[in-house]
A and B are shown apart, each in its own frame.
Chain A
Amino acid sequence: MQHTRNQDTLVGLFVAAGIAGLFFLAMHVSNLSSFSDEDSYIVTAKFENSGGLKVKSPVSAAGVKIGKVTSITFDPKTYKSVVELSINSKYNTLPDDTTASVFTAGLLGEQYVNLEPGGSDTYLKKGGEIEITQSAIILEKAIGQFLFKSAAEEKK
C-alpha cells in the first residue's frame, strides 16, 4: 500500500501546484486583485472625438490608473462621443470641474483618459458628468493642419 500512498501524495502535490498556478495568474497577473466592479462609481464625459479609445482603456490621474472606460456610445443629438468611466470608489474626491482628455501613452501606445483635477470644492458624484473635455488628437488632422499652415506661411 506504500505505493498508492506515494502516488496519492504526488497527485496531491500536482493538483496543489496546478491550483497555485491558476491562483497566481488570477491574483498576481490579472487585474482581479486591483479592484473589481462593485466598489467603483461611474461618471460620463462627452468628447468631440474619442479617437482610438476603447472599452477597458485605462482612466488615470497624475499618471496613476484609477479606473477604466466601460462604454463608448455616439449621441445622435449632440453628435458627441459619450464615454462612461468607471472610477474606483477610493478616489471619490475628484472635483466637479475636472478636465478629461484623451491622451496617447507614448508615440504608439494605447489611448487612455487622463483626468486633471480642477479647483472646485464640490466633488463628482456617482452618475455625474465631466463637463470639460479635450478630444483625442487625431494625428492625420494635426499633420494636415500643420502642412496647410506652413504652406500658407510660405506663400506670404
Chain B
Amino acid sequence: MMDFIEGLGSSTRTSFNKLGRATFFLGQTVSGIMSVLLRPGLLLKQLYSVGVMSFLIITISGLFVGMVLGLQGYYTLSDFGAEETLGVMVAASLVRELGPVVSALLFAGRAGSALTAEIGLMKATEQLSGMEMMAIDPVKRIITPRFLAGLISMPLLAGLFSAVGIIGGQIVGSGLLGVDEGAYWSQMQASIDFYDDIVNGVIKSIVFGFVASWIALFEGYDAIPTSEGVSRATTRTVVNSAFSILGLDFILTALMFGDH
C-alpha cells in the first residue's frame, strides 16, 4: 500500500516536472516566432513537409467520411421522412466535430509522429547539440518554424476535410440516393451558422493544431536520444495527441455549443 502511495507520489512529481519542461519549451518556441516570420523561407519549407504532405491523406479521408455520413444519415433520416435535412446533418457533423477532430487525429498520426521522429533523431545524432555549439538556438531555428507550420496548416487541413466531406456527402446523397440537391444545400445553409459553427470549428482546429504540434515537438525534443527512446517518444506523441485532442474537444464543445 505504501509502495502504491509512493509510486503515485513519484509519478505525480515526474508528470509535473514534464509539464514544467513542456511549458518552458513552449515559451522558448513562441519567443522565436518573430525571428521566424522574418525568414519566411524556413516556414515555407516546414509548411511543405507538415501541410502539403498531409494534404492527400486529409482530402481522401474527408471524402470518405463525408460519403459514409451521407449514406448513414440517409438511412436514418429516411425512416422519419426527413431526407431533405441530410445536408444539415452531414455539414453540422463535419464542421463542428469530425472536421476538426478527425483531421487533427490524422495530423497527429501523419505529421506529428514524423516531427517527433525527426527532432528525436536530430537530438540522437547530436545535430541539436551541434547547433547550440555553433551559437544557433535550435529551438528558434528548428522547432519554431515547425510549430508555426503546424499552427497554420491545421485549420486549412480541417477546412479542406469538411469541405471535401460535404461534397462527398452530396455525391452520395443526391447523386446515388436521390436526395434533392437544392434541398441538400438550402437546408444546410439555413441551419449552419457562420459564427456558431464555422468559426467555432476553425477555432477548434487552431487549438488542436497548437496542441498536436506542441506535443509532437516537445516529445521529440525531450526524447531519450537513443533509437528506443525516439520510437517511444513517437508512440507517446500519437497517444498523447489523441487524448488531448479528444479531451479538449469535449471541453471546447461544452463551451461553444452549450448555451443553446
Query: Using a CB–CB distance below 8 Å, which chain A residues touch chain B?
Result: 4, 7-8, 10-11, 13-15, 17-22, 24-26, 28-34, 54-56, 58, 65, 106-109
Contacts and interface: CB of A to CB of B under 8 A. Distances in A.
Contact of A29 (B41, B45, B95, B161): B95
A29 B198 contact: yes
Interface stretch (B6-14, B184-192, B229-237): B184-192
Contact of A55 (B80, B160, B260): B260
A22 B156 contact: yes
B81 interface: yes
B189 A30 contact: yes
B202 interface: yes
Interface residues of B, number: 38
Given A18-B155, A19-B156, A56-B260, A30 B163 contact: no
Contacts of B47: 11, 14-15
Nearest to B49: A7
A106 B82 CA distance: 8
Contact of A34 (B52, B80, B161, B189): B189
A112 to B, nearest CB: 10
Contact of B81 (A28, A58, A106): A106
A80 to B, nearest CB: 21
A106 B193 contact: no
Interface string B202-232: 1000000000000000000000000000000
B164 A7 contact: no
Contacts of A65: 190
B211 to A, nearest CB: 19
Contacts of A34: 189-190
Contacts of A8: 44
B156 A56 contact: no
Contact of B190 (A19, A58, A109): A58
B174 interface: no
B44 A11 contact: yes
Nearest to B190: A65
B155 A22 contact: yes
A30 B160 contact: no
B48 interface: yes
Contacts of A109: 82
19 contacts: A7-B48, A10-B52, A11-B51, A13-B52, A18-B155, A18-B156, A19-B159, A21-B156, A26-B194, A28-B185, A29-B91, A29-B162, A29-B166, A29-B189, A31-B193, A34-B189, A55-B260, A108-B82, A109-B82
A20 B161 CA distance: 12
A142 to B, nearest CB: 20
A25 B159 contact: yes
Given A18-B156, A21-B162, A31-B192, 18 more contacts: A11-B48, A11-B51, A14-B47, A14-B48, A14-B52, A15-B51, A19-B159, A21-B160, A21-B163, A22-B163, A25-B201, A26-B198, A29-B163, A29-B188, A30-B192, A31-B193, A32-B198, A56-B260
B141 to A, nearest CB: 18
Nearest to A110: B191
